[in-house]
């Protein structure tokens, strides 16, 4: 079970619990606005008037294409927010395991991983730019654990990783870039 509420909460181990859903993700709202803007523009422009003054450059087919593109993007964002998949991580107070999940809809489903922090060997953070950081979790055998990435922990990732390593000093935090 995940802690109640959205956003960041604290667990007994002082490792922040994190949960984010499609409805609280600004990227879904931007996609919805983008789709609605294209749909509105396609509805407001008359395809026959979409020509240059001399009539040489005319592409009336672009207007319904933009409208269809806007409808597709807007509908996709709206349906994703309706389904409201969520992702996050927390330390299970009963077992002490670090639990993470992605794509969970409702109370079940999605991709989930679990490991006790004593079995974590390394957290690797690769800074590519401010929005495309890559975060990976490795066990003590050096195997990368599935479904653990930047989507399931709060930003800044280094702070979260250092807090985890502060509780379990054997964990190596490796930062590149």
Q: What is the pLDDT of residues 55-86, one digit of tens each?
A: 777 778 888 999 999 999 999 999 999 998 99
Ranges of each domain in the chain? 88-176
> What pLDDT does residue 131 have?
66
More confident residue, 171 or 2: 171
* Burial zone of 57 (CB within 10 Å; 0-12 exposed, 13-18 middle, 19+ buried): exposed
> What pLDDT does residue 8 have?
45
Confidence of residue 10 (pLDDT cuts 50, 70, 90): very low
Per cent of the chain over pLDDT 70 is: 91
Report the C-alpha gap between 38 and 70 in whole angstroms.
4
More confident residue, 131 or 71: 71
- Residue recorded with tokens 């995940």: 2
- Residue recorded with tokens 């974590």: 120
Average pLDDT along the chain: 85
Q: What is the DSSP letter of 138?
A: E
Q: Which CATH architecture has domain 88-176?
A: Roll (2.30)
Contact of 32 with 81, CB cutoff 8 Å: yes
More confident residue, 66 or 49: 66
Confidence of residue 88 (pLDDT cuts 50, 70, 90): very high
pLDDT digits (tens, 9 = 90+) for 28-46: 999 999 999 999 998 988 8
Instruction: Give the pair of three-digit tokens for residue 127.
Output: 């800074």
Give the pLDDT mean for 146-165: 90
**In degrees, to the nearest 5, what angle opens at C-alpha 111 toward C-alphas 26 and 29?**
10
**In degrees, to the nearest 5, what angle opens at C-alpha 115 toward C-alphas 132 and 148?**
15
More confident residue, 60 or 19: 19
**In degrees, to the nearest 5, what angle opens at C-alpha 116 toward C-alphas 112 and 118?**
145
> What pLDDT does residue 70 have?
96
Q: What is the dihedral of CA 56, 62, 63, 64, to 10 degrees?
A: 140
Q: Which of 3-12, 86-95, 167-176 has the lowest mean pLDDT?
A: 3-12
Smallest Cα–Cα separation from 84: which of 33, 25, 27? 25
In this structure, the chain runs to a length of 177
Smallest Cα–Cα separation from 16: which of 133, 134, 149, 152? 152
């Amino acid at each position: 079970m995940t802690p109640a509420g959205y956003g960041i909460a604290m667990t007994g181990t002082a490792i922040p619990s994190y949960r984010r859903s499609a409805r609280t993700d600004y990227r879904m709202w931007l996609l919805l606005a983008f789709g609605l803007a294209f749909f509105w523009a396609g509805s407001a422009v008359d395809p026959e008037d979409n020509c240059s003054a001399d009539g040489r450059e005319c592409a009336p087919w672009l207007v319904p294409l933009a409208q269809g593109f806007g409808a597709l993007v807007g509908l996709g964002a709206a349906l994703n927010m309706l389904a409201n998949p969520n992702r996050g991580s927390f330390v299970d107070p009963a077992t002490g395991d670090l639990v993470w999940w992605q794509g969970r809809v409702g109370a079940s489903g999605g991709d989930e991983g679990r490991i006790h922090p004593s079995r974590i060997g390394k957290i690797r953070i690769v800074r590519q730019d401010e929005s495309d950081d890559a975060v990976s979790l490795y066990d003590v055998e050096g195997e990368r654990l599935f479904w653990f990435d930047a989507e399931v922990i709060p930003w800044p990732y280094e702070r979260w990783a250092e807090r985890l390593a502060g509780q379990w000093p054997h964990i190596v935090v490796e930062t590149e870039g």
